[in-house]
């Protein structure tokens, strides 16, 4: 089956709102702490933890580099908690998402992050696993640990393709 082309959008808070939060300092509530030696960017995302015995996990993920063409063949979701990714080395991501609920492939959207942006996938949001662009990347990841099945995966009925990342503002 020939993959359908997937249009890439810039990552903005407004465009991504249906899927979770954009993690960035631009526009965030900020104030000085530690006698003025540090700026705190406050309350950037809503961490969601559901199910039995939930606990927050803080992880570092190292992602391999992806280069065009990229075929999107599956999506996953975490029904019991949100999942946040923030680059610790300025890595950029291709972010492929669909709204929570039963997967509607016609609603799949793709975004490209700036080096100083991350995302927090809302609980149940369908998304592709980490797609680092051009070079391997390290990401601070905050998600849910605890009892219960917290990862569902689905193979797409119709694969999607990202053919040219240069046109997509990489």
CATH superfamily of 4-168: Ureidoglycolate hydrolase (2.60.120.480)
Give the whole-angstrom CA distance, residue 52 versus residue 46. 19
- Evaluate if residue 169 carries a pLDDT over 90: no
Q: Which of 79, 87, 85, 25 is nearest to 57 (CA)?
A: 85
Residues 6+ apart with CB under 8 A from 8: 94, 110, 111, 112, 162, 165, 167, 168, 169
Q: Which of 106, 56, 105, 108 is nearest to 78 (CA)?
A: 56
What region, left, alpha or beta, does residue 145 occupy, with left being phi > 0 and alpha being psi -120 to 50 degrees? beta
Residue with tokens 């039995």: 52
Are 10 and 4 in contact by the 8 Å Cβ rule? The answer is: no
Q: Which of 90, 116, 105, 119 is nearest to 15 (CA)?
A: 119
**pLDDT (tens digit per residue) in 123-132:** 999 999 999 9
**pLDDT (tens digit per residue) in 85-115:** 999 999 899 999 999 999 999 999 999 999 9
């Amino acid at each position: 089956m020939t993959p359908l082309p997937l249009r890439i959008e810039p990552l903005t808070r407004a465009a991504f709102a249906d899927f979770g939060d954009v993690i960035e300092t631009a526009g965030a509530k900020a104030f000085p702490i530690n006698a003025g030696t540090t700026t705190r960017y406050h309350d950037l995302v809503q961490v969601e933890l559901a199910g039995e015995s939930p606990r927050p996990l803080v992880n570092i993920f190292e992602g391999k580099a992806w280069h065009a063409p990229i075929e999107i063949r599956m999506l996953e979701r975490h029904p019991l908690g949100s999942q946040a990714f923030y680059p610790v080395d300025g890595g950029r991501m291709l972010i492929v998402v669909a709204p929570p609920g039963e997967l509607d492939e016609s609603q799949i959207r793709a975004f490209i992050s700036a080096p100083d942006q991350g995302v927090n996938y809302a609980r149940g949001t369908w998304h592709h696993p980490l797609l680092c662009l051009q070079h391997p990347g390290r990401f601070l990841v905050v998600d849910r640990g605890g009892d219960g099945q917290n990862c569902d995966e689905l193979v797409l009925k119709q694969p999607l393709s990202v053919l040219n990342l240069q046109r997509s503002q990489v």
